[in-house]
Amino acid sequence: MLERLAFNLAGIVLMPLCWGVAMAVFRLVRSIDPEIGRNLPPTFWALIGGFMLWQILYLTLPRPARLYVLGHELTHALWGWLMGARVSKLKVGRDHGSVTLSKTNVWITLAPYFFPLYTFIVITVYYVLSIFLEVERAYLVWLALVGFTWGFHATFTLVTLLQRQSDILAYGRILSYTLILLLNVLGIGFWVVMVSEATLEKFVMELNQCAGMAYRWGLDILYRGFVEIRHWAGTVQ
C-alpha cells in the first residue's frame, strides 16, 4: 500500500516536468527561422516521410505484431542486462511474449514504451558503418529509416497502451503513463534537433527554463489551494 502510494506520488511530482518538456519542444519548434519553416530541409522530409510511410503501411497491410512483441521483449532483456539482471527464457508469440529476468525495476519494466529498439539499431548500425564506409550519401535514407522505425514504435506503443498491461499496473498508471509520455516527448525534441537548425544547447536551455516555470506554476497552484482550504476551514468553524 505504501509502495503504491509512493509510486503515485512520484508520478504526480513528475507531471510538471512532463508539461515543461512538452512546452520546451513547442518553443524549440517555434524558434526555428520562419524562412526555413516555409522551405523545410530535406532532412525533415526524410524523417517525416519515413514516419508517414509506416503509418500508411500500418493502415493498409497486415500488422507485424510478432515483430513488435519480439522488440518489446528484447527491450526488457536489453535494459535488464544493462542493469545487471540475468536474462533467460525469451518467448515470443503473435499477441504476447515473455522474458525471465533475475531482477527488475521501473526502467526495465517500462523501457519498451519509451525506448524504440529498432530505431536504436538503425542509428547504431549507421554510425558503426561510418567507421569503415562512406555513408554520408545515404544520410537521407538513414533518416527515413529512423522515422520509419520510430513510427513503428509510436504506433504500436499507443495501441498497446490502450489495452490492459501488466507492465503499467506494476508501478501504477500515474507513474507509468507520466514517465512514458515524458520520455517520448523528450525523444521528439531530439528529432527536432536532428533535422533542423535548432541546436542541442538551445533545447537544453529551453528544458531548463520550461521545467522551472512548470514547477513554479505547480507550487503556486498548491499554495493557492492550501490558502483556499484554510480559509474555508476557518469559515466552517
pLDDT digits (tens, 9 = 90+) for 1-45: 778 888 889 999 999 999 999 999 998 888 876 655 556 778 888
Q: What is the pLDDT of residue 31?
A: 81
Q: What is the pLDDT of residue 181?
A: 94
Q: What is the pLDDT of residue 42?
A: 85
Containing domain of residue 60, as a range?
42-200
Q: Is residue 25 part of a domain?
A: no
Domain count, the chain: 1
Q: What is the pLDDT of residue 73?
A: 93
pLDDT tens per residue, range 134-168: 888 898 999 999 999 999 999 999 999 998 888 89
Q: Is residue 234 part of a domain?
A: no
Facing residues of 87 across strands? 101
Q: Is residue 222 part of a domain?
A: no
Q: What is the pLDDT of residue 32?
A: 74
Share of the chain above pLDDT 70, in %: 95
**106, three cell numbers:** 521501473
Share of the chain above pLDDT 90, in %: 54
Q: What is the pLDDT of residue 234?
A: 66
Q: What is the pLDDT of residue 5?
A: 87
Average pLDDT of the residues in 183-193: 90
Supply angle C-alpha 117, 20, 218, rounded to 5.
Answer: 135
Q: What are phi and psi of 98, to 5 degrees?
A: -160, 155
The length of the chain, given as a count of residues: 237
Q: Which of 112, 137, 142, 140 is nearest to 125 (CA)?
A: 142
Q: Is residue 125 part of a domain?
A: yes
Question: Whole-model pTM?
Answer: 0.86
Q: Is residue 16 part of a domain?
A: no
Q: Is residue 10 part of a domain?
A: no
Report how far residue 145's alpha carbon sits from residue 50's, in angstroms, rounded to the nearest whole number. Answer: 6
CA-derived radius of gyration, the chain: 21
Q: Is residue 231 part of a domain?
A: no
Q: What is the pLDDT of residue 56?
A: 96
Q: Is residue 152 part of a domain?
A: yes
Report how far residue 188's alpha carbon sits from residue 174's, in angstroms, rounded to the nearest whole number. Answer: 21
Report how far residue 157's alpha carbon sits from residue 154's, in angstroms, rounded to the nearest whole number. Answer: 5
> Hey, CA dihedral for 190, 117, 184, 9, is it positive or negative?
negative
Instruction: Estimate to the nearest angstrom the gap between the alpha carbon of 26 and the chain centroid.
Output: 16
Residue 206 predicted with pLDDT over 90: yes
With b for 16 or more beta-carbon neighbours within 10 A and e for fewer, the 13-49 pattern comes to ebbbbbbbbbbbbebbeeebeeeeeeeeeeebbbbbb
